[in-house]
């Protein structure tokens, strides 16, 4: 059924016929009895309109069946005992010695980001270090814990994954997906003529749209969409990173807060009005413009601009050709693309994405138009990364230890399972 949803439209009917013949036909040795009664309904719907949702009822029927006797049999089998053994292993304490530490990759708000490797599996990650005294001095405890909890909750191929959270004597550490391809800011401005070709803009924008959609499904607004927060992996796929400003929004209870980066903040953020997910779609509009034009829509690179005046500035003529950007950069959030009743589906349906198969994109099988050179280094030289100064006059106490205990929870289940699975 997953394969059926991923095939191109012109091949969907033949793929559906194969599924019905193989799994919903009594004559087949692989017939699934739990869904067999839906065969005729699926066959009729396939003739009328071979849409992606034709087998959704079959999936529900199969899940309902598996919850019963098959699951009880599983609980009484050796496989369930083996599963519990793996869960015990997964919950082993995590400490500094679990990893090998390598070169510094960059700087975060509270400390350095370096490459690291799990000793037991050889898996490479990025370790984001949050210095304890620097956190306390800046009163950043809630921000650090919020980022950790949001990363722990989100499981998306378009958002960096948190694999481990642990502490050392001096720092709290987030072990995250390693993205060797550099950030979009580097690629936009440091790889020749600023900006990208249309196909590349289209691909990145579609993946960012999917990442925002996955965050919004968890009621999380990101609030800091900009090129340096979008990272490329070895294969040319992107992930949203740095969720320090992300926050969960309760249904029907919009938030208020002037946070973000000058030049990318939406009018409702600048004006300190209440908002939900709307700032993220504004940020996507800014990013699409910048990837295309090679400059921000509201200020030139390195230009200092008073953030309170951003919403009075105008676009250059080039942006008129970017209808998607213009719709995403609508000042009124109620009229902005992505913020209407259609939500993210309205953005994905825009003609700008007509060549994108979002099902294939979300499955990770859509080929990127650019693949980073494995021999190149897409980050600053170690000597060019500024060192943090020593924090003085800050003492840690028992209250801080209580916070560290909440933060240092060890493995995150799904990334850890993927890591172990790669050993097979």
46: left (phi over 0), alpha (psi -120 to 50) or beta: alpha
Region 199-216: what's the mean pLDDT? 95
Region 190-219: what's the mean pLDDT? 93
Confidence of residue 126 (pLDDT cuts 50, 70, 90): very high
Confidence of residue 52 (pLDDT cuts 50, 70, 90): confident
Supply the pLDDT for residue 111: 83
Region 113-136: what's the mean pLDDT? 93
Average pLDDT, the chain: 87
Region 311-340: what's the mean pLDDT? 73
Phi, psi of 79, deg, nearest 5: -70, -35
Which is nearest to 89 in space by CA: 127, 121, 115? 121
Binding residues: 137
Supply the pLDDT for residue 309: 43
Residue with tokens 């390693």: 178
Which is nearest to 287 in space by CA: 298, 296, 275, 299? 296
Beta strands (DSSP E) in 149-303 are 162-167, 171-177, 220-221, 230-232, 238-240, 247-248
pLDDT at residue 414 above 70?
yes
Region 46-65: what's the mean pLDDT? 87
From first CA to last CA, the distance across the chain in angstroms is 25
Confidence of residue 26 (pLDDT cuts 50, 70, 90): confident
Output 173 or 326, whichever has higher pLDDT: 173
> b/e for 278-287, b at 16 or more Cβ within 10 A?
bbbbbbbbbb
How far apart CA 206 and CA 350 sit, in angstroms, is 11
How far apart CA 299 and CA 318 sit, in angstroms, is 14
How far apart CA 220 and CA 212 sit, in angstroms, is 9
Binding residues for ATP: 137
Region 300-326: what's the mean pLDDT? 52
Confidence of residue 381 (pLDDT cuts 50, 70, 90): low
Structural tokens at position 157: 């191929």
pLDDT at residue 383 above 80?
no
Region 126-144: what's the mean pLDDT? 90
Region 355-369: what's the mean pLDDT? 90
Structural tokens at position 7: 């095939």
Region 96-125: what's the mean pLDDT? 90
Supply the pLDDT for residue 35: 86
How many residues are there in the chain? 424
Region 91-117: what's the mean pLDDT? 89
Are the C-beta atoms of 313 and 227 separated by less than 8 Å? no
> b/e for 126-154, b at 16 or more Cβ within 10 A?
bbbbbbbbbbbeeebbebbbbbbbbbbeb
Hey, how many other C-beta atoms are within 10 angstroms of the C-beta on 193?
A: 8
Cβ-based neighbours of 103, under 8 Å, separated by 6 or more: 114, 115, 382
**What is the DSSP pairing of strand 124-131 with strand 171-177?**
antiparallel
pLDDT, tens digit (0-9, with 9 covering 90-100), for 181-195: 989 999 999 888 998
Taken in order 373, 374, 376, 382, the sign of the CA dihedral is: positive
Structural tokens at position 293: 């034009």
Supply the pLDDT for residue 385: 56
Are the C-beta atoms of 270 and 311 separated by less than 8 Å? yes
Cβ-based neighbours of 301, under 8 Å, separated by 6 or more: 189, 295
How far apart CA 286 and CA 226 sit, in angstroms, is 8
Which domains occur in the chain, in start order? 1-76 (1.10.167.10), 92-179+381-422 (3.30.200.20), 182-363 (1.10.510.10)
How far apart CA 41 and CA 43 sit, in angstroms, is 5
pLDDT at residue 285 above 90?
yes
How far apart CA 407 and CA 146 sit, in angstroms, is 10
Region 136-149: what's the mean pLDDT? 90
Supply the pLDDT for residue 321: 41
pLDDT at residue 262 above 80?
yes
Least confident segment among 50-54, 289-293, 342-346: 50-54
How far apart CA 89 and CA 323 sit, in angstroms, is 52
Are the C-beta atoms of 346 and 281 separated by less than 8 Å? no
Between the alpha carbon of residue 406 and those of residues 48, 134, 142, 415, the distances in Å are 54, 18, 11, 20
Supply the pLDDT for residue 117: 96
How far apart CA 401 and CA 172 sit, in angstroms, is 11
List, by residue number, the catalytic residues: 224
* Predicted TM-score of the model (pTM): 0.84
Percent of the chain with pLDDT over 90: 54
């Amino acid at each position: 059924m997953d394969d059926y949803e991923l095939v191109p439209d012109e091949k969907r009917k033949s793929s559906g016929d194969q599924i019905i013949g193989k799994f919903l036909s009594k004559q087949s040795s692989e017939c699934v009895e739990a869904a067999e009664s839906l065969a005729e309904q699926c066959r009729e719907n396939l003739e009328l309109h071979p849409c992606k949702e034709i087998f959704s009822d079959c999936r529900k029927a199969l899940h309902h069946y598996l919850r019963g006797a098959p699951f009880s049999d599983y609980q009484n089998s050796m496989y369930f005992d083996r599963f519990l053994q793996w869960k015990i292993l997964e919950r082993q304490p995590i400490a500094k010695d679990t990893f090998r530490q390598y070169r510094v990759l960059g700087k975060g708000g509270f400390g350095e980001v370096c490459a690291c490797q799990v000793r037991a599996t050889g898996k490479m990650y990025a370790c984001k270090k949050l210095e304890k005294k620097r956190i306390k001095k800046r009163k950043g405890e809630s921000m650090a814990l919020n980022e950790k909890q949001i990363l722990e909750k989100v499981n998306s191929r378009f958002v960096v994954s948190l694999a481990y959270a642990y502490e050392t004597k001096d720092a709290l550490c987030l072990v995250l997906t390693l993205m060797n391809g550099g950030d979009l800011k580097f690629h936009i401005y440091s790889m020749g003529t600023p900006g990208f070709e249309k196909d590349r803009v289209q691909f990145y924008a579609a993946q960012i749209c999917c990442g925002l959609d996955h965050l919004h499904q968890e009621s999380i607004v990101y609030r800091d969409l900009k090129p340096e927060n979008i990272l490329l992996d070895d294969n040319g796929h992107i992930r949203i990173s740095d969720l320090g400003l992300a926050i969960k929004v309760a249904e029907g209870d919009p938030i208020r807060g002037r946070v973000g980066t000058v030049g990318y903040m939406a009018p409702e953020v600048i004006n300190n009005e209440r908002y939900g997910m709307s700032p993220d779609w504004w940020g996507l509009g800014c990013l699409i413009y910048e990837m295309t034009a090679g400059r921000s829509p509201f200020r030139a690179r390195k230009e200092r601009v008073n953030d309170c005046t951003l919403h009075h500035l105008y676009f250059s003529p080039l942006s008129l050709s970017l209808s998607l950007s213009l719709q995403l950069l609508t000042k009124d959030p109620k009229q902005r693309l992505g913020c209407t009743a259609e939500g993210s589906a309205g953005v994905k349906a825009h003609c700008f994405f007509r060549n994108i198969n979002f099902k294939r994109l979300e499955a990770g099988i859509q080929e990127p138009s650019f693949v980073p050179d494995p021999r190149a280094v897409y980050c600053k030289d170690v000597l060019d990364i500024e060192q943090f100064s020593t924090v003085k006059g800050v003492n840690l106490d028992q209250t801080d230890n209580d916070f560290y205990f909440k933060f240092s929870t060890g493995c995150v289940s799904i990334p850890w399972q993927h890591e172990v699975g790669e050993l097979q």
